[in-house]
Amino acid sequence: MLQRLNSRSKNGNFFIRLKELLGFSPRRLALYEEAFTHRSLQKKNNFGEPVSYERLEFMGDAVLGSIVAAYLFERLPRSDEGYLTTMRSKMVSRQTLNKVGNELGLLDLMKADCHQVDFGEDVCGDLFEALIGALYEDRGYRYCERFIRYRLIDHYVDIDTLEDTILSYKSHLIEWCQKEKIKIEYRDREDPGNESVKHFAARLFIDHKLVAKARSTSKKKAEEKASKRAYYRLKDQILS
C-alpha cells in the first residue's frame, strides 16, 4: 500500500508537495493549481472562462486509458480485444482511482469554497485524473507513463486478482437473475436527509423479497451499492 503523502510539509509549499508527489519538479505550476481547483471557488481565467479541475480531468482520463491500454497490449499478447477492454475497465475503475487518490492525499491539496461533503464520492479519483492531465500538458506522454506505472500499475495491478474482480455488481446480479429466471427489481426514491447534497435511496427486491438497500448521491450509485450488498448476501447461491 502506498504511504499517504504529507500535504503539510515544513513550509506548506505547493511546489514542494507536488515534487514529492510526482518524483520530479513540475514546470508549469499553474496547470497543477488548476488540477486542484474546485468549481465552487468560481475562479476565472484572463478570458473570463471558468477554471476548475474538470477540463484536466477529461484530459487525464484519456491519457490514463491510453497508457493502461498500451500496458495491457504488451503484457497480454494473446488476449483478444474483449478481454483487454474488460481488464482496462477494471484497472481504471472509480473504486481503484478513488483508492489511489485517497492514499496519495490528493484531497488535501484541493482548493474549494464548500464543505468536503459536497465534493462527491469520486473526487479523489477525479483529482488523480486531473493531475495526470496537468502532467501531460506540462511534461508529455512519457512522464505520464512513468507516473502511472509507478503510482497505479506497480502497486494496484495484479492480473489474476483483476480477473476475479466484479466491475458492476448490478449487471452481475441481473445476469444471474435472468439465467435463473428470477424477478429482480430496483425501487428508488429521493432521500435528502440532513446533507446539502441530494441523495437517493435504493431498495433491491429479488423474487419479490427485499434483499438489500443503500443510499448515495445518485440513483446509479445507490443501486450499485445495494447490488454489492445483495451479491455478498447471496454469494453462495450465485456461485453454486
Ordered by where they begin, the domains of the chain are: 14-161 (1.10.1520.10), 169-239 (3.30.160.20)
Mean pLDDT, the chain, as a whole number? 87
| pLDDT value, residue 8 | 38
Q: Which three cell numbers stand for residue 55?
A: 477540463
| pLDDT value, residue 9 | 39
How far from 15 is each of 7, 127, 134, CA to CA, in Å? Answer: 11, 17, 14
| Residues 50-94 pLDDT 10s | 889 999 999 999 999 999 999 999 999 999 999 899 899 989 998
Question: How far out from the chain centre does Cα 2 lie?
Answer: 16
What is the Cα–Cα distance from 119 to 32, expressed in whole angstroms?
A: 18
| Residues 89-110 pLDDT 10s | 989 998 899 999 999 999 989 9
| pLDDT value, residue 173 | 93
In the chain, how many H helices and how many E strands? 12, 3
Q: Which three cell numbers stand for residue 151?
A: 503510482
What is the Cα–Cα distance from 168 to 170, expressed in whole angstroms?
A: 5
Catalytic residues: 61, 129
